Amino acid sequence: MITLDNVSKYYGDFKVVSGCSATISKGEVVVVCGPSGSGKSTLIKTINALEPIQEGRIVVDGIQVTDRSTNLPRLRSRVGMVFQHFELFPHLSIADNLVLAQVKVLGRSKDDAHTRGMKYLDRVGLKAHAGKFPGQLSGGQQQRVAIARALAMDPICMLFDEPTSALDPEMVNEVLDVMVELAREGMTMICVTHEMGFARKVAHRVVFMDQGSIVEDRSKEDFFGGGGNHSERSRQFLSKILSH
């Protein structure tokens, strides 16, 4: 469903993403990890063209992302994205955060959008907070709202860009629980995260990146199975994040 073919991106002369290729099928959950600055966030942002690329090809659900004639807003409306810093719109109520894009982008009626929004808000356990503003919620609650906001658009897949790394430790699990549930329902997901517990629980595949390149792309069993064929770089990385 999502194909990355030899994707490269430069900031000036600096190659942030270097010749990355991967295929993600429908219903698959892929966890992308790697040291900071390895280009993981940039790579997943190329999938909905938030980061333009200079080389390579990206196809999402049969649509060429890199084609100049592609209607990017339309494509993006079908790809849900959750950000590290939530990015709820602080001047709008929670309900309006959920409704806005449904009405303006998908052309749903306000009532319809509200009903759907409330359904997803209920799913993440925050229906009682619909009238509040983002600033009145905790980080974990805001991130759950952000997930609901993305889901309300009925996306064909979801991209998560370090969804828990800006959260206080005690709020990480409430967000991961929502993500696990989503994965078990069969949502196609690409998650940049260091939460290896989450990866073990629901990922099908783990991609390890370093210095802009995909160093490893293997099944979860293979990745965590302790097989001796890890690259030196990923072994170092894993020993650092798994030792505690």
Partner 1 sequence: MAYEFDFSSVTPAAIKVLGDGMLVSLKITAVAIVFGMVWGTLLAMMRLSRQRPLRWFAAGYVNLFRSVPLVMVLLWFFLIVPQLLQKLFGLSPANDLRMTSALVAFALFEAAYYAEIIRAGINSVSRGQLAAAYALGLNYPQAMGMIILPQAFRNMVPLLLTQGIVLFQDTSLVYVSALADFFGRAYSIGERNGRIIELLFVAGSVYFIICFSMSLMVKRYRKKVAT
In the complex, the smallest distance separating the C-beta of residue 194 from partner 1, rounded to whole angstroms, is 20
In the complex, the smallest distance separating the C-beta of residue 77 from partner 1, rounded to whole angstroms, is 3
Q: Are strands 63-64 and 14-24 parallel, antiparallel or unpaired?
A: unpaired
In the complex, the smallest distance separating the C-beta of residue 221 from partner 1, rounded to whole angstroms, is 32
Of residues 9 and 205, the one with the C-beta less far from partner 1: 9
Which residue is associated with the tokens 């690329």?
53
CB 129 within 8 A of CB 137: yes
Of residues 85 and 110, the one with the C-beta less far from partner 1: 85
Q: Give the angle 110-117-150 at the CA atoms, nearest 5°.
A: 115
In the complex, the smallest distance separating the C-beta of residue 92 from partner 1, rounded to whole angstroms, is 9
Of residues 77 and 141, the one with the C-beta less far from partner 1: 77
- Phi and psi at 237, nearest 5°, equal -60, -50
Which residue is associated with the tokens 């260091």?
194
**How far apart, in whole angstroms, are the C-alpha atoms of residue 190 and residue 50?**
15
Of residues 92 and 118, the one with the C-beta less far from partner 1: 92
Q: Where do the H-state alpha helices sit in 128-210?
A: 139-151, 169-184, 196-202
In the complex, the smallest distance separating the C-beta of residue 242 from partner 1, rounded to whole angstroms, is 30
Please give the residue ranges that form the binding site for partner 1 (CB under 8 A): 45, 48, 50, 72-74, 76-81, 83, 85, 87-91, 100-101, 104-106, 149-150, 153
Of residues 135 and 228, the one with the C-beta less far from partner 1: 135
